[in-house]
């Protein structure tokens, strides 16, 4: 799968762990930074990942910051992006099944490595259920013209 990944300084360590994990599984991963723990503004990275997802240049995106909240807010401002900030595997699964989420966001301060990697697996392998959920996702897009 083609995946874009990015983080701010507060999510850098978890991003590196996820990046290594995804590459070992054979995924094609585009790392949009940040590339160190030096302070930076999360919107700069989050918007770039979101644009790649929205343009369908990649199939999914993963964003990490301290809480996952900031990058989720930024990503969801991009037309065609449905970013879900998740804390556990069940949330990651439901974000795919019911919301057809295409960007997973998480917080390094809130999610340990083992849980993060498990959530990534679930997020990448869980299909969208469609049906009544498709109608609801379409309503979301109608609200914003997206």
For 1-17, what is each residue's pLDDT tens digit? 999 999 999 999 999 99
Quick one: how far is CA 26 from the chain centroid?
18
Q: Which two tokens stand for residue 14?
A: 């978890």
Catalytic residue among 9, 27, 86, 98: 98
Class (C level, CATH) for 2-144: alpha beta
Active site residue 98: yes
Integer angstrom CA distances of residue 134 from 99, 104, 114, 129: 8, 19, 31, 8
- Give the C-alpha separation, 88 to 97, whole Å: 15
Query: What is d(CA 106, CA 67) in angstroms, rounded to the nearest whole number?
Result: 6
Residue ranges per structural domain of the chain: 2-144
List, for residues 101-143, the tens digit of each pLDDT value. 999 999 999 999 999 999 999 999 999 988 888 988 888 878 7
């Amino acid at each position: 799968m083609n995946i874009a990944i990015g983080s701010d300084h507060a999510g850098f360590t978890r991003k590196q762990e996820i990046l290594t994990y995804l590459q070992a599984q054979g995924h094609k991963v585009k790392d949009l930074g940040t590339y160190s723990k030096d302070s930076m503004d999360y919107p700069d990275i989050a918007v770039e990942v979101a644009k790649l997802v929205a343009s369908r240049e990649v199939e999914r995106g993963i964003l990490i910051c301290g809480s996952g909240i900031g990058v989720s807010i930024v990503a969801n401002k991009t037309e065609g992006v449905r970013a879900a900030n998740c804390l556990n595997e069940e949330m990651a699964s439901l974000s795919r099944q019911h919301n057809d989420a295409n960007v997973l966001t998480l917080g390094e301060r809130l999610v340990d490595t083992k849980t993060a990697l498990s959530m990534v697996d679930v997020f990448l392998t869980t299909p969208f259920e469609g049906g009544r959920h498709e109608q609801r996702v379409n309503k979301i897009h109608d609200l914003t013209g997206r």
